[in-house]
Amino acid sequence: MRVFKFGGASVKDAEGIKNVYSVLQTAGYEDVLLVVSAMGKTTNALELVIKNYFDKSAELQSSVQEVKKYHNEILLDLFEDENNPAFAAVNTQFADLEYFLAHNKSPNYNFVYDQIVSYGELISTTVLSHFMTHMGIKTQWLDVRNFVKTDSNYRDAEVDWDLTKKNISKNVKGKILNITQGFLGSDENNFTTTLGREGSDYTAAIFAYCLNAESVTIWKDVPGVMNADPRYFENASLLNQISYREAIELAFYGATVIHPKTLQPLQKKEIPLYVKSFINPLLPGTSVAKGADLEPYLPCFIVKRNQLLISLSSIDFSFIMEEHISEIFGLFHQFKLKVNLIQNSAISFSVCVEDKFGNFKDVNAILSKKFKVDFTENVTLYTIRHFDEKAAHTVEENKTVILKQVSRETMQIVTKES
């Protein structure tokens, strides 16, 4: 079996859905499992629903209606007859969402987040499955929550691999086009969980691992993995082949084209990963596989914006020792601050972190009792793999460099725009 993943950009409108059909006509669809994200910016729209729900905003119903209107317009563009069962199926999903909004009693934000935001994927795959059936392709719609089982760490759940493998290997059948959702799972109480933002790639890898798949293909709006994000760098080049090791390094430092968790399960079973263009599906794209060296061997640029640079120093000029660093990292783990760079001296310690859950205020209050805390918000972290002098100059030009760290293969630079 082959596993294909289509992200939100590929299914953002009716033309996108039709293009997925065209890609499948080109690439083949027998014995294929599709993992699909929410349509376009639906996740963001559902996050607004969540905000309005907790704020008890009068805008709650209108924000839900906006999501319904968006999907209904896509349905109307795809199907001439409103009696097509796709309309009823999608209406059922929205009815379930509205029931949850009306009857939920839990004050747990992360729990509520996962229950609500999951409807993006559930609805997108419902639409896609009905359209494929409409076009004559026999499909099987799978509720991923019956297969991927996790703990109850809502918004960033850990996979129960033994149970997940048992569910998938026993119940996913070949010789048909299977369609399921990315990003989602469920806990032991069958409440919906999510695997972290952009987790659909990871879902594809989970299924591939459990099915001993032939390959995984991630279909993107770019020709493949580039050495830099074309939005930020001119003359970005396609990387034809990357080793698992190099891809894991790039993902670790924040390359967004491949989710960081995606590669480990594929590497364990040596399942090749392809990153290809859904705009030009006949282009070769990028392959990630065992033993493939980086081609060409050139600097790779990774940009992470909206970072937070925290500098800690001891109040009494004593050394910052292992026990202090252990305590600091324990706090970062507890409050889910993702550390992307570390630099320390005898009496100071600096980290560049991503505060995606908005918890730094609480962390700062605790740290300030023991350390002098300085921080700079909205910095940008550049990572350059296989750097050279020209690459460093490209990043540093017209910027204020506030921290730089260099190792044998990698340079990291924290900047504020000048």
Q: Which pLDDT tens digit goes with each residue over 27-41?
A: 999 999 999 999 999
Return mean pLDDT, the chain.
Answer: 93
Percent of the chain with pLDDT over 70: 98
Range 2-220 classified under CATH 3.40.1160.10: yes
Q: DSSP characters for 34-51?
A: EEE--STTHHHHHHHHHH
Which residues carry a binding-site annotation? 5-8, 43, 121, 231
**Structure tokens given for 223:** 């020709």
Say if CB 313 and CB 372 are below 8 A apart.
Answer: yes
pLDDT range class, residue 319, cuts 50, 70, 90: confident
| pLDDT per position as a tens digit, 58-90 | 999 999 999 999 999 999 999 989 999 999 999
319: left (phi > 0), else alpha (psi -120 to 50), else beta? beta
Tell me, rounded to whole angstroms, the distance of Cα 11 from its chain centroid. Answer: 16
Give the span between the Cα atoms of 80 and 282, in whole angstroms. Answer: 31
Residue 4 tokens, joined? 């294909």
Numbered residues of the known binding site for substrate: 43, 121
Q: For 364-390, how does the pLDDT look when each residue is reduced to its tens digit (9 = 90+)? A: 999 999 999 999 999 999 999 999 999
What does the longest C-alpha to C-alpha distance in the chain come to?
A: 75
pLDDT band per the 50, 70, 90 thresholds, residue 321: confident
Tell me, letter by letter, the H, E, C secondary structure of 120-134: HHHHHHHHHHHHHHH
- Residue 249: band (very low, low, confident or very high) from pLDDT cuts 50, 70, 90: confident
pLDDT of 146 above 70: yes
What pTM was computed for the model?
0.86
Q: Are 174 and 185 in contact (CB under 8 A)?
A: no
Percentage with pLDDT > 90 across the chain: 82
Confidence class for position 261, pLDDT limits 50, 70, 90: confident
Are 412 and 376 contacting, i.e. CB atoms less than 8 angstroms apart? no
Q: What's the confidence (pLDDT) of residue 196? A: 86
pLDDT of residue 417: 74
> What is the DSSP secondary-structure string of 60-72?
HHHHHHHHHHHHH
Lowest mean pLDDT among 133-137, 160-164, 197-201: 197-201
Q: What SS3 class is residue 225?
A: coil
Those residues with Cβ within 8 angstroms of residue 285's Cβ, 6 or more apart along the chain or in another chain: 223, 224, 274, 275, 276, 277
The predicted structure's pLDDT at residue 298: 87
**Mean pLDDT to the nearest integer, 343-370:** 91
Show binding-site residues for ATP.
5-8, 231
Residues 6+ apart with CB under 8 A from 165: 209, 210
Taking Cα atoms as reference points, which of 172, 255, 194 lies closest to residue 2? 172
What was the pLDDT predicted at 294? 57
The tens digit of pLDDT for each residue in 263-315 reads 999 999 999 999 999 999 999 999 999 875 655 578 999 999 999 999 998 88
- CB half-sphere exposure, 305, CA atoms < 13 A: 4
CB 274, CB 217: distance < 8 Å? yes
Contacts of 240 (CB under 8 A, 6+ apart): 224, 284, 286, 287, 295
Q: Are 317 and 347 in contact (CB under 8 A)?
A: yes
How far are the Cα atoms of 218, 258, 264, 267, 276 from residue 288, in angstroms, in the given order?
Answer: 11, 10, 12, 9, 11
- 165-187 average pLDDT score: 95
Rounded-to-integer distance, Cα 119 and Cα 141, Å: 15
Amino acid 292: pLDDT: 58
Fold classification of 300-417 (topology level): VC0802-like (3.30.2130)
pLDDT reported for residue 15: 98
DSSP assignment letter at 294: P
Q: What is the pLDDT of residue 197?
A: 67
Residue 254's alpha-carbon distances to 261, 324, 384, in angstroms, are: 11, 27, 11
Among 141, 154, 156, residue whose Cα is nearest residue 189: 154
The segment(s) of the chain belonging to CATH 3.40.1160.10 are 2-220
How do residues 115-131 score in pLDDT, each as one tens digit? 999 999 999 999 999 99
Omega before 296 cis (within 30°)? yes
Q: Is residue 324 predicted with pLDDT exceeding 90?
A: no
**Please, where in the chain does CATH 3.30.2130.10 lie?**
300-417
Reported in sequence order, the residue ranges of 142-267 that DSSP labels E, i.e. its strands, are: 177-181, 184-186, 192-194, 215-220, 241-243
pLDDT at site 347: 76
